[in-house]
Amino acid sequence: MPDVMRTVVLASLALCGGAMAGVMALRPDPAVRLEAELSRLEPEDALRELRGAEGRIAFHDNLELLYGRLSLADGDLDRARRSFRRLQAQASPSEEVLETLAGIEAAAGDLAAAAAFLRQAQDAFPSADRRLRLGGWYQALRQPEAERDLLLSEDPTVLTPGEIDRLGLLLIRDGRIADYEALFTTLADSTAEGHLSFKRRLLEFLVESGRPAEAVAAAARWTAGPQGAAALEASVRALIGRGAIDAAILVARDGFRLAPGDSHVALPVFARSGHGGVARLLQGEWLASRPTLSDAEWATLTHLAESTGDMRGLQVALASGGGQAGAPALGQALMQFVRYRGAGALVPWRGLLSEDVFKEVPLVGAAWANWRGDRPATYRHLVAASNQPLSDWDQLIWMSLLDGLRGSPFHRVLLAGAVDHPGLRQRLRDSVIPARPARAALSASPDKPG
C-alpha cells in the first residue's frame, strides 16, 4: 500500500510538475504581454509604458518598431533614431526602416545623414519618387557628384525631363562631354517623352563639336524611323539654328529619299528662317520626286507660296498633278495666284476651275467670274466668301472685286446689308462715306462766330 501511495504521490507530483512546467512554458513572454497591453493604450500612455520597460525587458523587433514610431511621433528624435538603427542592425534592409531613418535625420536638420539613408533605400528598393526626392536633397546639399552619380546609375530613358536636363548640366560642369554625348545619343535615339528636344540638343552638340556629318547621319537615322516627319523638321530647325545650313540641306535631301511622303515639312523651316533661296531650290528638287501630292503636301506648297510670293513651286505642281488634287487644296493653291497676281493669273489654270473649287474657296470663284464679267456669279461667290473667315488681305481683294459690281443692283444689295462679315461691313460702310474729314470740305469757308 505504501508503495502504491508513494506511486500515487509521485505520479501526482509528476503531474503537478508537468502542469506547472506547462503553465510556465505557456506563459507569454513579458515583451509579448507588454505589446498586448500597449495596443489598448493611448499613444502617450503606451510611450510612457515603453519608457518604463526600457532596460527591464528585451524588446523584440515589433516592440522596438513600436517604440521607435511612438518616439518619433512624440518628437523624441534621438530615441527614435536609436530604435530604428537597432532595427536596421538586427534585420535585413527594410524600406520602412531606411525611409524613417531618413525622415528622422531630415526632421533633425541633418540632411546629409538623411540622404545617406535615402540612398540606401534607393539602392535596395529603387523607385522613381524616391530618386527624385534624393536628387533634390543632393541638390540642396550642394553635392553635385552624388546627384550626378545617382542619375547616371539609372537608365536615362526613365528619367524625368527635369532630371535629364539636370544631368546634362552636371556633365557639362564636370567636363564629362563624352558622357553628355552618350546620354543625349541614347535619348535622341529613343522615343521617350521629349525625344525631339533631345535630338535637337544632340545635333547642336555635334555641330558645335565640328562633326556636322555625324549630325546629318543621326538625323537621317531618325527620319527613317518612327515619327520621322517630326524628327526631320526638328533636325532641320536645330541645324539651321546653329548656322549649319549645308548640313540642314543634306538632312532635307536625305528626307526626300528616306521619307518621301513626309519630307515636305522641311521646306517651310528654311523659308521661315530666312533661307528662301534654299527653300526654293529644295522645293524644286522635292517636287521632281513627287509625281502626285497629298493634301498635306499641297498645304505646304501653298504655305510656301503665300509666305514667299514665289509661285514657281505651285506652277510646277499644278502643271504636273493639279488635276488630281482635291478641291480644297486646289482652291487654296489657286488663291495664291489671285492674291499675288490677280484674277488674270487664273487663266492658264482655267481647266482646273470648277464649282467644287469655288465652293471651297469662293473668292477664287468671284475673281474668276469678275475676270469673265459674270456679275451674277461674282455676286454669288462674293456672298459665299463673306460667310468664310477672311484675312485683311482677302477682305481687300473682296472689296476690289466689289468694284466690278458697281452700278449694278448687286452692288446696292451688298451695300444694303446682304453681308454679315463684320470686317466687310465696316469696309462697305467706309466705301460710301467720304474718307476725308467733313471739316476739310468746308475749308474754303471757315467757321464764323454767330
Which positions lie near other proteins, rule CB under 8 A?
40-44, 70, 72-75, 77, 100, 103, 106-111, 114, 132-133, 135-137, 139-140, 142, 144, 160, 162-163, 166, 168-170, 172-173, 177, 180, 201, 204-205, 208-209, 241-243
Tell the residue number behind the cell numbers 523587433, with chain if given. 61
* Least separation in angstroms between CB 171 and other proteins: 8
Tell the residue number behind the cell numbers 550626378, with chain if given. 148
Rounded to the nearest 10 degrees, the angle between the axes of helix 422-432 and helix 392-403 is 50
* Least separation in angstroms between CB 151 and other proteins: 9
* Least separation in angstroms between CB 344 and other proteins: 39
Burial grade of 372 (CB within 10 A; 0-12, 13-18, 19 or more): middle
- CB closer to other proteins out of 70 and 187: 70
Separation between Cα atoms, residue 46 and residue 63, nearest integer Å: 11
- CB closer to other proteins out of 14 and 107: 107
- CB closer to other proteins out of 235 and 395: 235
Asked if 343 and 367 count as a contact pair (C-beta separation under 8 A), the reply is yes
Separation between Cα atoms, residue 266 and residue 255, nearest integer Å: 8
* Least separation in angstroms between CB 36 and other proteins: 14
- CB closer to other proteins out of 147 and 254: 147
* Least separation in angstroms between CB 239 and other proteins: 12
- CB closer to other proteins out of 25 and 178: 178
- CB closer to other proteins out of 156 and 404: 156
Separation between Cα atoms, residue 26 and residue 24, nearest integer Å: 5
Amino acid, single-letter form, for residue 339:
R
Asked if 258 and 292 count as a contact pair (C-beta separation under 8 A), the reply is no
Residue 54 bridge partners (DSSP):
57
- CB closer to other proteins out of 239 and 333: 239
- Select from 306, 220, 205 the least CA-distant residue to 266: 220
* Least separation in angstroms between CB 99 and other proteins: 9
* Least separation in angstroms between CB 110 and other proteins: 7
Other beta carbons within 10 Å of 353 = 17
Residue 57 bridge partners (DSSP):
54
